[in-house]
Structure 1
Amino acid sequence: MTKHFSRRTLIAALISTSAILAALPQQALAYDETSTFELNVDAQGVGIKGHDPVAYFTAGQPTKGTAQYSASHRGATYWFASAANRDAFKANPDKFAPQYGGFCAMGVVLDKKLDGDPTAWKIVDGKLYLNVNKDVQKKWLEDVPGNLVKANANWPEIKHKAPKDL
């Protein structure tokens, strides 16, 4: 019976994964499909599509930043809505920077580096996670603890690979 249940669970997981991947639009891939950089940045090196990472924690919503208030961390430039947010980030960047380099958390669960949508976000245990879109985020939210275990196991293996190679 356990063997039967395991096969059924595996088949359901494969069908679910296939459905999620099939539903993703082509532009859901990271900005540069050939980049092996572990951070999801645009052509100018800006992360989170110019959104303020601190604002997710303080304002509780995605907020566009400006180049006037910027700071760099681990090779990405982040924009902030205020000098106070920029300074908070500089004081503790690892607290505010998005997990998995700003790539989609559910994508990482599935061994993929998909673009992160700044409007599909969630703070879990004091960490910021993005998803490729709100539909995929719904799937990720169904089992956040289990998905984090899988994503944390997958991330070291995929973070330096190009999205096109996954």
Structure 2
Amino acid sequence: MAASMTMIGSLPQIAMAYDENSSSAVNVDAKGVGLKGFDPVAYFTASAPTMGKSSITAAHDGVTYHFASTENRDKFKTDPAKYAPQYGGFCAMGVALEKKLDGDPQAWRVVDGKLYLNVNKDVQKKWLEDVPGNLKKAEMNWGSIKTKTPKSL
């Protein structure tokens, strides 16, 4: 755990959530787009990060998502909770360590039918060393940090 904290503590400032002063439970850009424009359904159907199109969108929990196809958008609309990233798109390892770090759509994993992001692939390697343990910690932490600002954690 200490090594993980050191790794996260040494990340450059740009690795933090988009707006360090936002108390939102979802990680979005300045236009309210989640997953940096990647298609959330594609992680499940194509098993790969796929850039969505700004012309094909759907909203869920205050986040606008982009989709690679209308078929993916329609799947999302049928069951958005199934496809939306966990912890509002913040880094799952960060949440396990009581931090709200930006989620990188390229550092992802579907576990038990849920999409998780990490701040980068190095942090993801640490997260993957104990996914069940890290998810248990994250689940315990999320309720108390989700409405706090990243800067305050």
TM range (shorter): over 0.9
| Aligned-residue RMSD, C-alpha | 0.8
Tell me the SS of whatever aligns to 2:88. helix
Match of 1:89 in 2: 76
CA distance in structure 1 between the aligned counterparts of 2:53 and 2:28, rounded to whole angstroms: 15
Match of 1:103 in 2: 90
Supply the AA of the counterpart residue of 2:122: D
Q: Does 1:33 align with 2:28?
A: no
Q: Does 1:164 align with 2:133?
A: no
CA distance in structure 2 between the aligned counterparts of 1:152 and 1:63, rounded to whole angstroms: 27
- Cα offset, 1:159, TM superposition: 0.3
Q: Which runs of 5+ in 1 are unaligned?
A: 1-12
Q: Which runs of 5+ in 2 are unaligned?
A: none
Q: Does 1:141 align with 2:148?
A: no
CA distance in structure 1 between the aligned counterparts of 2:120 and 2:69, rounded to whole angstroms: 26
The structure 2 residue matched to 1:63, chosen from 50, 75, 96, is 50
The structure 1 residue matched to 2:60, chosen from 73, 78, 87, is 73
Supply the AA of the counterpart residue of 2:111: V
Q: Over residues 58-99 of structure 1, what are the superposed CA-to-partner deviations in whole Å (9 max), with x where a residue is unaligned?
A: 011000001111000010000000000000000000000000
CA distance in structure 1 between the aligned counterparts of 2:152 and 2:98, rounded to whole angstroms: 10
Tell me the SS of whatever aligns to 1:153. helix
- Cα offset, 1:20, TM superposition: 1.5
Q: Over residues 32-64 of structure 1, what are the superposed CA-to-partner deviations in whole Å (9 max), with x where a residue is unaligned?
A: 000001000000000000000000000110000
Q: Over residues 127-163 of structure 1, what are the superposed CA-to-partner deviations in whole Å (9 max), with x where a residue is unaligned?
A: 0000000000000000000000000000000000000
CA distance in structure 2 between the aligned counterparts of 1:18 and 1:90, rounded to whole angstroms: 37
CA distance in structure 1 between the aligned counterparts of 2:22 and 2:146, rounded to whole angstroms: 10
Supply the AA of the counterpart residue of 2:144: E
Correspondence list, 1:106-121, <5 A:
106-121=93-108
Normalised by the length of structure 2, the TM-score is 0.98
- Cα offset, 1:22, TM superposition: 3.1
Instruction: Report 1 or 2 for greater relative contact order, CA contacts < 8 Å, sequence distance ≥ 6.
Output: 2
Runs of 4+ aligned structure 1 residues displaced above 2 Å come to none
Supply the AA of the counterpart residue of 1:135: D
- Cα offset, 1:25, TM superposition: 1.7
- Cα offset, 1:16, TM superposition: 1.3
Normalised by the length of structure 1, the TM-score is 0.90
Q: Name the % identity.
A: 66
Greater gyration radius: 1
